[in-house]
Amino acid sequence: MALEIVQPDGLDNPETYSHVIFATGARLVFVAGQMSDDPDGNLVHPGDLAQQARQVFANLGRALTAASARPDQVTKITIYVVGHRREFLPVIETARRELFGDHKPTDTLVGVETLAAPGYLIEVDAIAVV
């Protein structure tokens, strides 16, 4: 599997994501939206975006591992945040770096009114090329 990150002329140079990634590989892995659940499916850290974000990215890592994929093989994530405000970005980016380190998959961040159940503040899905 190979990823080639491209920084297009005329676009900014974001710290935590890439604008374009070319991917070649033998298998695509699609990971469903991960939420801040414990192994029993219970919400953890209600009302705490920072802790929920850490749990979400940890769960995403577990899902990738189960698919024999690594975080550095992720090409795209979508981040859904309840009531998103700009000041949430550093909190989300800190949790994101815990999983991805210096790897910068493409992303889309979407502010939403609600997620699947009350109390959830963030959800992240992913696509990896293995």
- Mapping DSSP to helix (H, G, I), strand (E, B) and coil, where does residue 46 land? coil
CATH superfamily for domain 2-8+26-129: RutC-like (3.30.1330.40)
Q: How does pLDDT run across 64-122, given as a tens digit for each residue?
A: 999 999 999 999 999 999 999 999 999 999 999 999 999 999 999 999 999 999 999 99
Structure-block tokens of residue 6: 């491209």
pTM for the full predicted model: 0.89
Structure-block tokens of residue 12: 């900014």
Query: Strands (DSSP E) along 49-121, which ranges?
Result: 74-82, 106-112
Q: C-alpha 94: how far from its chain's center?
A: 11
Is the distance from CB of 71 to CB of 61 less than 8 angstroms?
yes
- How confident is the model at residue 20, as a pLDDT? 84
Cα–Cα distance for residue pair 74/10, rounded to 1 Å: 25
Band (pLDDT 50/70/90 cuts) for residue 23 is: confident
Structure-block tokens of residue 100: 């991805």
Q: How does pLDDT run across 26-49, given as a tens digit for each residue?
A: 889 999 999 999 999 999 999 999
- How confident is the model at residue 106, as a pLDDT? 95
Q: Is the pLDDT of residue 1 over 70?
A: no
- Domain boundaries of the chain, sorted by first residue: 2-8+26-129
How many Cα atoms occupy the beta-carbon half-sphere of 73 within 13 Å? 21
Kindly report the number of other CB atoms within 10 A of residue 45's CB atom. Answer: 17
The H-or-E segment that residue 22 falls in is: strand 20-24
